[in-house]
Structure 1
Amino acid sequence: MTTTLNCKYCNEPLSGRADKIFCDPYCKSAFQYLKRKEKPKSLFEKVDKQLKLNRKILKQHNKIGVTTVREESLLDEGFNPKYFTNYWKNEKGDVYLFCYEYGFLRKFDKRKKLHRFVLVQWQAYMNSA
């Protein structure tokens, strides 16, 4: 009795070697991609992904080097202020948190009664502090 083996990815009948698993390199690559995608992400990958997203959002909103943005607009885009790479403390004692070269400081606007983020870009003078 002969058994016909099928490709693990596309389920087409295989011909050739007896231990063949995939019909061509494309099916092998696609199968491996799906397996990697199903695998749960490591903590490092999750943190790295959030840091990159935070940096991207800060960069989009801060085109001129310093600006102020409503907190909700950043949070709605997926920004998470708990993830940052470094910090800088100014002379007033305000601590700016940074995602790589883009920083933010959460402030309360008393006049409008809402939170805002002051966005800055890393400057050379911040290295000496």
Structure 2
Amino acid sequence: MITLSVLRPLAVLAVLLPAAACQSIFPDEEDPSLAALRAQAAAPVASSQRFDSDGYPLLGAYPDTAAPQLTDAQVRAQQSRLNAQASQRASAATSSSYPSEIARLEGVRRKQAADVDAALAAKPTPNAQPTLSPEEVLRQIEAGQ
């Protein structure tokens, strides 16, 4: 029979284990500032639902006017901002600095490989004292060293 003192930590572990596997809500290529810009794209507007004298919504009464829409200037500004972001991402993929970055990283790889080869070629210098036999250890203990 499993006691309560064993069952309680297992229950806590079962609850926390899925949370340990959680990932960030942002994909690797997305910056949190983009999500902030996206969140402020459309401002909340008041409902045009009609209410009775007690404040309850009138279920059969449909709104008589549409909710306020974005102006043409706001739509154009949003489109130009999104087009600028899209062109920036497209130009980043075809940038002329890409081959130079690849060459730089290849140089780093070659340097690291040379460092590893040099470290493996060097003979190790022993820093540890040679192991003592059990009798020598016993003599040192008896001598008080």
Coarse TM-score class (shorter-chain normalised)? under 0.3
- Higher fraction of strand: 1
Higher Rg: 2
- Higher fraction of helix: 2
Name the TM-score, length of structure 2 as normaliser: 0.23
Name the TM-score, length of structure 1 as normaliser: 0.25
